[in-house]
Amino acid sequence: MLLRLRCSILTHLISSPSASPASQLHRLFSAAAPGASPNASFAVEEYLVATCGLTRPQALKASAKLSHLKSPSKPDAVLAFLAGLGFSAADVAALVAKDPKFLCASVEKTLGPVVVGLTGLGLSRSEIARLVSLSHAQFRCISIVSNLHYCLRLFGSFENLLPALRLGKCLLSADLETVVKPNVAFLRECGLGDRDIAKLSIAHPWLLASNIDRVRAMVAHAEDIGVPRGSRMFRHAILAPHAMRAVKFLSKEKIAAKAGHLKKAFRWSDAEVGIALSKLPSVLTRSNQTLESKSEFLISEVGFEPAYIAHHPALLTYSLEGRIIPQYYVVKFLKENGLLDHNRSYYSAVTLMEKVFVDKYICPHKEVAPYLAEDYGAACRGEVPTRFKFT
């Protein structure tokens, strides 16, 4: 009966935020929770199994963090709170298993006021429930309301914010004034808009909640690969999830040397080097010999312009012998024998996974080109079949 009463009170608070000031919240929860005397025989582990739905091993592990509980009064109130948010038995079990101390939170002083604050921000009951499931311990802090308010404005909506929260909850607990806001201000100074910063937070969930020196270091790495802040390609470089990983252990001298080699091998200008590296910083980790052999084939044989390769640096990640050359032979064979539109891009073919490539470019021509699959297989093994003749 008590649990149902608390549940109905919470539902009322969520559906009527204007009628839920702190004083009324205190009065309602006080009325719903008459004083409970400690129960010396209260068994936490049994409560977790019987009432919260945990397995015995989960309950044994969780009970170690709840050994101070002497009464079911506070956990009962929390369960009523979760029920009011629409949590199922499975949802409750999952939450308690991950964050047993959630059962110790004060509904009156913490959880209830947080719900009132979030409702005031426009969140629905289902959105608040999703936030509880994602944030766990962070939901037990009143500061989550101000953090979420700021993040909602930055990301534009709760749905836009969710991906960042799924990957990292630190945004909800980081200090707004000393950490989050300075990081955002610095990124704005670098020419990034709020939408860019939101995308960056998904690619690097730790970023906005990190020490600003770490954020400055990431920007410095982008500049080290030849993409200065404020440039047209800076946004692309900084948003690449693996961009910083590629240059993390490279000195400025090595980066400069590799950039010089790229200019020579691919006949690139400084701007084209910047474009290629901003799109694919891992090019810096490729050996000079590998890059030279790909340059020779892509420019001399395929006929790609250097600028085209700079704008499509993914070409440099594929195996020359196992993918680039064999697939090029197939595409050229099909075009010169009237089996493929001459305007069909080779790039669109080489970016396909092998199975997709075979299904799209080889299987449809089994009858008119019965040896094509065999020749393609031979080419993938490094052999150049004699039937690959272009007349």
Q: What is the pLDDT of residues 135-151, one digit of tens each?
A: 888 999 999 999 999 99
180-210 pLDDT per residue, tens: 999 999 999 998 899 989 988 887 888 899 9
Mean pLDDT over 233-252 rounds to: 66
pLDDT at residue 26 greater than cutoff 80:
no
Burial group, residue 185, by CB count within 10 angstroms (0-12, 13-18, 19+): exposed
45-72 pLDDT per residue, tens: 999 999 999 999 999 999 999 988 888 9
Q: Is the CB of residue 11 less than 8 Å from the CB of residue 83?
A: no
The one-character DSSP state at 34 is -
287: left (phi over 0), alpha (psi -120 to 50) or beta: beta
pTM of the model: 0.65
3-class SS shares of the chain: helix, strand, coil, % to 5: 70, 0, 30
End-to-end CA gap in the chain: 87
Q: How far is CA 50 from CA 42, 328, 353, in A?
A: 13, 65, 51
Q: What single-letter amino acid sits at 228? A: P
Burial group, residue 348, by CB count within 10 angstroms (0-12, 13-18, 19+): exposed
- CA 87, CA 44: separation in Å to the nearest integer? 21
Q: What single-letter amino acid sits at 26? A: H
Rg (CA), the chain: 30
Q: How confident is the model at residue 128 (pLDDT cuts 50, 70, 90)?
A: very high
The one-character DSSP state at 206 is T
Q: Which of 26-30, 72-76, 202-206 has the highest mean pLDDT?
A: 72-76
Q: Does 78 or 13 have the greater pLDDT score?
A: 78
Q: Lowest mean pLDDT of 22-31, 63-72, 283-292, 305-314, name the range.
A: 22-31
Q: How confident is the model at residue 266 (pLDDT cuts 50, 70, 90)?
A: very high
Check residue 282 and give its pLDDT.
80
Q: How far is CA 129 from CA 102, 109, 133, 348, in A?
A: 14, 18, 6, 44
- CA 237, CA 282: separation in Å to the nearest integer? 11
Share of the chain above pLDDT 90, in %: 52
Kindly state the tokens that stand for 256.
């400069």
Kindly state the tokens that stand for 309.
């390769």
- CA 259, CA 276: separation in Å to the nearest integer? 10
Output the CA angle 209-214-215, nearest 5 degrees: 70
Q: How far is CA 82 from CA 125, 157, 165, 194, in A?
A: 11, 24, 20, 34
pLDDT at residue 244 greater than cutoff 80:
no
Q: Is the CB of residue 51 less than 8 Å from the CB of residue 92?
A: no
